[in-house]
Amino acid sequence: MKLIFLGPPGAGKGTLAVRVKELLKTPHISTGVIFRDAIAAKSPLGLKVKAVIDAGKLVDDETTIALVKERLSQADAQAGYILDGFPRTIAQAEALETFSVVDKVVNFDISNDGAIERLSGRRVCRKCGFNFHTIFNKPKKEGVCDFCGGEVYVREDDKPSAVTKRLEVYRVQTEPLIDFYCKKGLLVDIDASPLVDEILVGFKKALRI
C-alpha cells in the first residue's frame, strides 16, 4: 500500500509510521529523517538545508521533490511505502502525481495545543532517530536511547521559536493539501490525540486492515 501521512508537526506521524511499517512491511520514508541524516553527515545536501530547517522553515520544493523522486525509484519502494512529511506543499503534491500513484492519504487530526505539547517534550536519538517524550515515553535512562545507546537530544527545530514557525508554516502551506486530497477521494481522517497504541487501532479501522 502506498500511503501519505499528513498532519502538523507533533501529530505523531513518525511514531505511528514505525509501527505501521512493521505491520505492512513497507519502508518508512521520512524527508525530515533524510534531511537530518544529511546534516549529521555534513553532506552537500545537509550543508544546504541546515539553516532553513533549524529556523523551522521549509526546504525548497525543487530540492525536496528531487530527493523523494529518487528515493521512490528504489526497489524497496515499488510495492508500497509510508511517505512521512512529504508532500508539504501543493507543488510537491502535484509533482508526486507525475512519478507515483498513492492509495490513501492519512490525515492526523490534532489540536494546536496537542501538537505543541508533543513537540515541546520531544527528545530524539541522535543515532537511530527514535522519538521519545519527557512525559509520554521517557527513555529508561535520561539522555540515553533504550535501543542503541545513542545520545537523546532536543532537535534545534523543537525549540519554542521554531515550533511556532513550523505550526504557522503548516497552516499556510501544508493544510491546503487536506482539501486537495479530499477532492480526489483519497483522504482518511484519524484521531491523533491519544497515545500511539490507540492511534494504531484507529488507523487499522480507518483503512480496514
Cis peptide before 87 (omega within 30 of 0): yes
Of 189, 27, 184, the closest CA to residue 93 belongs to 184
Q: Rule CB under 5 A: choose which of 114, 121, 139, 150 binds Zn ion.
A: 150
**Shorter beta-carbon distance to Zn ion: residue 40 or 172:** 40
Which residues sit opposite 30 in a β-bridge?
A: 84
Q: Rule CB under 6 A: choose which of 2, 28, 88, 123 binds ligand ADP.
A: 88
Give phi and psi for 55, each to the nearest 5: -85, -5
Q: Is 45 in the site for ligand ADP (CB under 6 A)?
A: no
d(CA 48, CA 59): 9
Least distance in angstroms from the C-beta of 80 to ligand ADP: 19
Cβ atoms of 197 and 18 within 8 Å: the answer is: no
**Segment 133 to 172, residues that bind ligand ADP, using CB under 6 A:** 157, 166
The residues that touch Zn ion, with contacts defined as CB under 5 A, are 125, 127-128, 130, 145, 147-148, 150
The residues that touch ligand ADP, with contacts defined as CB under 6 A, are 9, 13, 30-32, 35, 52-53, 56-59, 64, 85-88, 92, 157, 166
